Structure 1
């Protein structure tokens, strides 16, 4: 009998549902999987067997019985393969190796010498070569690479515009797939951070959130009803370039008064009297820990401007949770009160009901873990379907 594309697609979707249920709720019996997915027991049994054959699901032993034969319990095999997660920032390149549940196995970080595409790819290749020696033996090996970049990315994995890197029209996915011979996903780093927090961090139990990545710039990852919101052409979330000062400082994007000039690490440049000092969040946090008035005042201003931008996002998207991540998370003790005050004063009353402002549970790892998860999702979504 000829199997139509539609039948194969339905089976692939059902198989993905079964695998996702086991991954999220294990240990589960086949009966429980049937109840969770709404699929009949025969379909579940066949799909589970295929997943066992793929070594993505394991039978872990007998469960409790309400009478009769004890059911065999199912577990997701998190070590069936491994993924690489990459975060490219203005100052550094970070690569992690994770299992299929996003647990970091190995990590490397190197500073960027410049922003040339060729030298960035060369550094990535050097780091990946070292990382490959740490991949444990597994049935599926290294299943793919996910990359988060600070800029606008289209559906084909092209970096359209990354003003803080000086990149425009870079076919990054194609370049990396040719370089490494792996499936590659490319996304904005804030979108990757939002996915990381949604799956493994502060957003695990919500369906609507905004993740604000604050480093050498600002980007936002928006999750609506459990799914990333990317806009009509995939470019949503460039909130660092919304104007918060109508006639403010000129920005590298070509506009003026952009949020990130006042609420990201770019704000440090305007605060330093000595341009030779190391202008980093770590430096200013140390100054604040020593109760230096200049640092306390700097974080007050940054916190207030962060609150202004977050107010705009809350009034626009009505999220349950706003998560602040990136390097600026290190300054939480000094910025948090000012962020909260501004948001409480300026958001519409119904929008701030039950609103929670949190700081990344994954620390500086949100984007790399989210990028790795994108590669994992792509791999699990293309799991072989037998017909």
Structure 2
């Protein structure tokens, strides 16, 4: 993995600030973003242009009924990005793909018991819901709920005895996502 340089980190921080402001103020335009972030207009324009090209932000031109060129409004493209969630316990495994606007795209549930290789079932189900969701989906996050003791920082299931999981590096097992 490439180390981030100081300018790279600054760019990420500025993008995050812009996204936060657009999230909190749908329909905001570049000039107001520059004022709220204390960034130069050119920096905001450059970053917003990149975010629009990556389809993270959407542009639209509302008619304000004023003379001259109306500002281009911005909104976050929640429908264009997706997350996988999974709920794992001894009775069942459920896997979902949702858009960030909370629209359900695909899901699957399956009963399991103590004899089931739950990790294999989970991976198989994730593959199927991703296939159902269709190609080209940008998965931004994966959230897994497991009944047991979990080290969230390291992504390790310390103990989920009824699933026969002990010191399972779940984050590593699902790193392909």
TM-score normalised per structure 2: 0.81
Counterpart of 2:94 in structure 1 is 94
Match of 2:171 among 167, 170, 173: 173
The CA RMSD over aligned residues, in Å, is: 2.6
8 Å CA contact retained: 1:84, 1:144? yes
The match for 1:148 among 145, 148, 160 is 145
Q: 2:47 is matched with which residue?
A: 47
Supply the distance in 2 between the matched residues of 1:136 and 1:75 (Cα, whole angstroms).
24
1:171-198 deviations in whole A, cap 9, x for unaligned? 1111122xxx21xxxxxxxxxxxxxxxx
Whole-Å separation in 2 of the counterparts to 1:80 and 1:128: 19
Which structure shows the higher helix fraction? Answer: 1
Once the two structures are superposed, residues 220-265 of structure 1 have per-residue CA deviations (whole angstroms, 9 ceiling, x without a partner) of: xxxxxxxxxxxxxxxxxxxxxxxxxxxxxxxxxxxxxxxxxxxxxx
Measured in 1, the distance between the counterparts of 2:124 and 2:81 equals 22
Q: For residue 58 of structure 2, what is the aligned residue in structure 1?
A: 58
TM-score (normalised: structure 1) = 0.40
Is contact 1:158-1:170 (8 Å) kept? yes
Q: In structure 2, how many angstroms separate the alpha carbons of the residues matched to 1:137 and 1:17? A: 30
Map 1:1-387 to 2 at 5 A. Answer: 5-62=5-62, 64=64, 68-114=68-114, 119-138=117-136, 141-150=138-147, 151-162=149-160, 165-177=163-175, 181-182=176-177
SS for the counterpart of 2:61 is strand
Structure 1 unmatched runs, 5+: 183-387
Structure (1 or 2) with the greater strand fraction:
2
What is the deviation of 1:113? 2.1
Q: Residue 337 of structure 1 aligns with which residue?
A: none
Structure 2 distance, partners of 1:155, 1:89, is: 21
Distance in 2 (CA, whole Å) between partners of 1:27 and 1:90 is 45
Q: What is the CA-CA distance between 1:60 and the residue it aligns to?
A: 1.7
Could you give the per-residue CA deviations for residues 116-159 of structure 1, whole angstroms, max 9, x where no partner exists?
Answer: 6xx11221133223212222454x54445321222222422111
Cα distance in 1, alignment partners of residues 98 and 36 from structure 2: 28
| Aligned-residue offset at 1:50 | 0.8
Tell me how far 1:27 sits from its aligned partner. 2.0
Report if the CA contact (8 A) 2:90-2:113 is conserved. no
- Structure 2 vs 1, CA of residues 65 and 161 (structure 1 numbering), >3 Å: closer, same or farther? farther
Higher relative contact order (CA 8 A, sep 6+): 1
Where 1:134 maps in the other structure, the secondary structure is: helix
The structure that has the greater radius of gyration is 1
* Residues 135, 169 of structure 1: alpha-carbon distance in 2 compared, 3 angstrom cutoff: same
